[in-house]
Amino acid sequence: MASPFSVLLIPGLLIPSIVFHTLRSRIEYAGYKCLYPTFIVNLLVGDELAQLAKQLDVTGPVVLVGHSAGGLLAVTLARAKHPNVRAVIGLGTPL
């Protein structure tokens, strides 16, 4: 049975998405589709938030897992009430 949502892993400031490789493997092993953002490194000076919102428009229902500053982006998308955000999990997110 397919999962009703995907998991999007959002890295922290200056961190490439590949740091989530082990976590991604475990999430996929558990049966969930796991995604990385369309940007390579989270710089928070580009249009990361807009890129994430655009990505969510096409991914369908998603749980956002953000590390540090990536968690801030996830919370911002949830607070904006993006219709595809089902939940947010922050890993060391400064809130």
Query: pLDDT for 24-34, tens place per residue?
Result: 999 999 999 99
For residue 1, name the pLDDT band (cuts at 50, 70, 90). low
Can you tell me the mean pLDDT for 60-71? Answer: 96
Q: Is residue 78 pLDDT above 80, yes or no?
A: yes
Residue 32 identity (one-letter amino acid): Y
Alpha carbons 87 and 19: distance in angstroms, whole number:
21
Instruction: Choose between 25 and 3: higher pLDDT.
Output: 25
Can you tell me the mean pLDDT for 82-91? Answer: 96
Alpha helices in the chain (DSSP H): 21-29, 48-59, 69-79
> In this predicted structure, what is the pLDDT of residue 44?
87
